[in-house]
Amino acid sequence: MRVLFTGGGTGGHLYPALAIARALVRVRPDVQPHFVGATRGIERVILPDTEFPHTLLDLHPLYRSAPWNNWRTVMGMVSGWRRLAELSREVAPRLVVATGGYAASGALAFAALRRIPFVVQEQNSFPGQTVKLFARWAREIYLGFPEAARDLPEAARSRAVDTGNPIEPPPAVRPDREVQRRVWGFGHDVRFVVLAFGGSQGSAALNALVEGWVARGLPRGVGVIWGTGRDHFQRHASRASAQVIVRPYLAPIADAYACADLAIARAGAMTTAELCAWGIPMYLVPLPTAAADHQTANARALADAGAARWVSQREATAEQLAMIVSEVMGDASLRERWGAAASARGRPDAAARIAARLDALLGPHASTPAEPATGARATAST
C-alpha cells in the first residue's frame, strides 16, 4: 500500500514528514512510504540517506519579487504532474501526507484533482499558504500549534487536530541533570546551564548576542553550551572556557537538552517543539526574515502560554540577556512555572498520534506489504 509523503524545501518541512513516515511504518508494516520533493530543496541531500524511495521534481516556488521567473514554476508544475501521473500508474497511492512548503503544492493539487485522499500537517502557529489553500479539501489537518486553527478556512476547522509537531521524543527516563553537566565537562561550581543555538546552520545575529553577553563576564555558577553553526565556529571558538563550551554543531542535541536550565534560541516550529517536549524555559529571538514572520507568531504564542519570553532581533541586547539569565537563575519558582508551561505545550508523541490517525484513515491492514521496501530509490524529473 503506497502512501505519498510530500513536503520540503527546508528541513522544517521535511523532518516532520520523515518522523510521521517512520511512525506510520511501525504501526502499518503493509505501508510503503514514497517521498516526493523538489530537486532544489534540502530533500535532495537528506532523502538519499534515508530508507525511503523518493522522487525529486523540478518544482519552483512563486517568484513574487521576480515574477518574470514564474515560467519556471509553471513548467516545473507541468513536468511534475507528468511524473506524478506515472507514479500513480505504477502503484496507485492510497493517501497523500503533506507537510507544507512549495514542494508540497504540486502533489496536493494533483491529489485534489485526482480525488486521492490527503492530509496536511502545519508546523507553525499560523498556516502557510499551501496549507491554507488545500485545508478545505483535506481529510484532516494536524497542527503543531493549536493557534493555527483560527486562521484555517472556516469549513476546515472541524477537521483540525492539535497533535503537536513530530519530533524525536525525549527518553522515557531523563538523564540526571547533575550527571549530565559533568558529562559536558562543567565543574561542580556550575549549577545553571544556558543552551544557546541558532539552528543547524547557526545564526550570526544570535551568535553576536551571545558573544556580547559572554564578553561581559558570566555570573558565578553559570555554564553555557553554545552551538554556533559550522560557518560561524571559528569566529567564536576563542570564547571557550571552563564555563563556556563552544561547538560548531550540537549532535545529538538531546545531550544538551538534558542539562539545560534555559534556552536562547530562534522560534522555529521544530526547535520550540523540542524545547517544549523537554520542558525547557525559553528566551526566544525570532528570525525576522522568516516567511510571513511566522517565528514571531510562534514566540508570541509560547509567551502567552507562559513558557517563554521573546524579544525582536532589533531590540535584543547583551545587557537584556544578562538580566534574563540572572532572573531565571535566581528564581526557582519562575523557572518551574516556565518549564511546566513548556511541558504542557509539549507533544513528544506527536508522530505516533498522527500515525494512529493515518492508520484509521487507511482502513484494514493488508495481509502482506503491497510494495516491500528495498532501500532508498530515487528518480528525478527535470
Complete edge-to-edge strand list for the sheet that includes strand 2-6: 160-162, 141-143, 118-122, 95-98, 2-6, 32-38, 54-57, 378-381
Q: Is the pLDDT of residue 379 over 60?
A: no
Say which CATH class 177-345 falls into. Answer: alpha beta
Residue 373 pLDDT: 45
Across residues 341-368, what is the average pLDDT? 92
pLDDT of residue 25: 97
Instruction: Report the pLDDT value the prediction gives residue 70, as an integer from 0 to 100.
Output: 60
Higher pLDDT, 63 or 55: 55
Instruction: Give the mean pLDDT of 289-310.
Output: 94
The average pLDDT across 161-179 equals 92
Mean pLDDT of the chain: 89
Percent of the chain with pLDDT over 90: 71
Structure confidence at residue 228 (pLDDT) = 95
Q: List the strands of the sheet with 262-265, edge to edge.
A: 244-247, 222-227, 192-197, 262-265, 282-284, 308-310
pLDDT, greater one: 78 or 47: 47
Q: Say which range, 4-8, 80-84, 133-137, has the weakest mean pLDDT.
A: 80-84
Asked if 2-168+349-381 and 177-345 have one fold, the answer is: yes
Q: What is the mean pLDDT of residues 82-89?
A: 83
Is residue 62 predicted with pLDDT exceeding 50? yes
pLDDT value at residue 332: 95
- What is the structure's pLDDT at 43? 87
Report the chain's terminal Cα–Cα distance, integer Å.
27
- In the chain, where are the structural domains located? 2-168+349-381, 177-345
376 contacts: CB under 8 Å, gap ≥ 6: 47, 48, 49, 50, 51, 52, 53, 54
For domain 2-168+349-381, the question of CATH label 3.40.50.2000 is answered with yes
pLDDT surpasses 70 at 339: yes
Instruction: Report the pLDDT averaged over residues 324-338.
Output: 96
Decide which of 381 and 277 is more confident. 277
Q: Indicate the helix (H) or strand (E) that contains 351.
A: helix 350-362
pLDDT at residue 375 tops 50: no
Residue 371 has pLDDT above 60, yes or no: no
pLDDT value at residue 218: 95
- Select from 18, 14, 20 the least CA-distant residue to 357: 20
- The mean pLDDT of 30-36, rounded to a whole number, is 95
In the prediction, which pLDDT does 74 show? 59
The answer to whether the beta carbons of residues 237 and 169 sit under 8 Å apart is no
pLDDT at 9: 77
pLDDT reading at 282 higher than 50: yes
- Of 37-51, 193-207, 340-354, the range with the lowest mean pLDDT is 37-51
Give the contacts of 215 (CB within 8 A, at least 6 positions apart).
239, 318
What is the structure's pLDDT at 72?
A: 65
Write the pLDDT tens digit of every residue in 314-328. 999 999 999 999 999
Least confident of 54-63, 135-144, 230-239, 323-332: 54-63
- Is pLDDT at 366 greater than 80 in this prediction? no
CA distances from 334 to 86, 226, 300, 306 (A): 57, 23, 18, 10
What does the pLDDT read at residue 61? 66
What does the pLDDT read at residue 350? Answer: 96
In this prediction, residue 168 carries a pLDDT of 87
The answer, yes or no, to whether residue 273 has pLDDT greater than 80, is yes
- Predicted confidence at residue 292, as pLDDT, reads 82
Task: Determine the pLDDT at residue 128.
Answer: 85
The answer, yes or no, to whether residue 63 has pLDDT greater than 60, is no
pLDDT tens readout for residues 9-19: 778 889 899 99
